[in-house]
Structure 1
Amino acid sequence: MNAHALAQRAYASPTTATKTPRAVEYDVVARVTHELRSAEISKKENFARLAEAIHRNNRLWTTLAANVADESNELPNQVRAQIFYLAEFSKRHAAQVLAGVADIRPLLEINTAILRGLRNEGSTP
């Protein structure tokens, strides 16, 4: 291959699309939500799977809370506060789910609302 062909190849448009940060966030929340839903279905046979899915959900919400607590975050203050509140609620509720005194449904509903917001189907929390 000559230098001209190499240069054309190097500066050509990429063949794979790059995901936006919003699309990446959507994928992560969707994956965690799917894991929660699947783990809930089999919780009697495989409680460890449920615990692992809840742990991943807690990690997700801890990351979201840290992101909105950062002063450089450009979301409106009210949205940032609401996301932080949802993170705290999700972690407390997750502990109750693991203790067997609460249903997982609110965690799924919160994540689904976030997915709708990321997809622009509803207002963000």
Structure 2
Amino acid sequence: MSLKAYQTTQKANESSSQTEYRLFADVTRALMDTKDLPKLDVRLHDALHWNRQLWSTLATDCAVEGNMLPKQLRASIISISIWVGRHSSQVARGEEEVQPLIDINKNIMEGLSAQAQNNVAEAKDANVTTGHNYSV
């Protein structure tokens, strides 16, 4: 099996939390790789743009009717998205550092990781309760 086929299969089997975690990890890695570059370096601006897109997508999803996240969590995500946009502009102008954006993303990744661990534990408990042995 080729690496690309393996990666495609792996992505198809991910939960939404795992997909979000992987995306945050990729974006955060890009920010970390560019944090010491000059403010006019295109790689820095590409990483900032990618991070903005991620947060904008999350905020848009939180504003959609029928989103199942708790109202307060949706409001917090939208607020963080607005802050990310403003801070990213300041970083692009050389007025602020990238590190706070990295820190925010890492905090979100920690929450997603904890959520994924809880989901695995719940699935294992369900297997014990029902007597089924589904691999998780």
Q: TM class, shorter-chain normalised?
A: 0.7 to 0.9
Q: Within the alignment, does 1:21 sit opposite 2:16 as a pair?
A: yes
Whichever of the two has the greater Rg, that structure is 1
Percent of aligned pairs sharing the same letter:
36
Q: Within the alignment, does 1:103 sit opposite 2:97 as a pair?
A: yes
In the superposition, the TM-score normalised over structure 2's length comes to 0.73
Distance 1:119 1:73, change over 3 A: same
The runs of 5 or more residues in structure 2 that have no matched partner are: 1-8, 116-136
Q: Which runs of 4+ in 1 moved over 3 A?
A: 14-17
Supply the distance in 2 between the matched residues of 1:27 and 1:120 (Cα, whole angstroms): 14
Supply the distance in 2 between the matched residues of 1:54 and 1:30 (Cα, whole angstroms): 14
Tell me which amino acid in the other structure corresponds to 1:25: E
Measured after TM superposition, the shift of residue 81 of structure 1 is: 0.3
Tell me which amino acid in the other structure corresponds to 1:107: L
Tell me which amino acid in the other structure corresponds to 2:27: V
The total of aligned residue pairs comes to 107
**CA deviations over 1:32-72 (Å, ceiling 9, x no partner):** 0000000113x139711000000000100110001111121
Measured after TM superposition, the shift of residue 17 of structure 1 is: 7.0
Measured after TM superposition, the shift of residue 15 of structure 1 is: 9.5
> Normalized per residue, which structure has more helix?
2
Report the equivalent of 1:33.
28
Report the equivalent of 1:90.
84
Tell me which amino acid in the other structure corresponds to 1:104: V
16-25 vs 48-57, which moves further: 16-25
Supply the distance in 1 between the matched residues of 2:101 and 2:14 (Cα, whole angstroms): 26
Of 20, 44, 52, 1:58 maps to 52
Distance 1:100 1:75, change over 3 A: same
**CA deviations over 1:94-119 (Å, ceiling 9, x no partner):** 00000000111111111011101101
Supply the distance in 1 between the matched residues of 2:54 and 2:26 (Cα, whole angstroms): 11
Contact 2:35 2:97 in 1 (8 A): no
Q: How does 1:62-73 map to 2 (within 5 A)?
A: 62-73=56-67
Paired residue secondary structure (1:120): helix
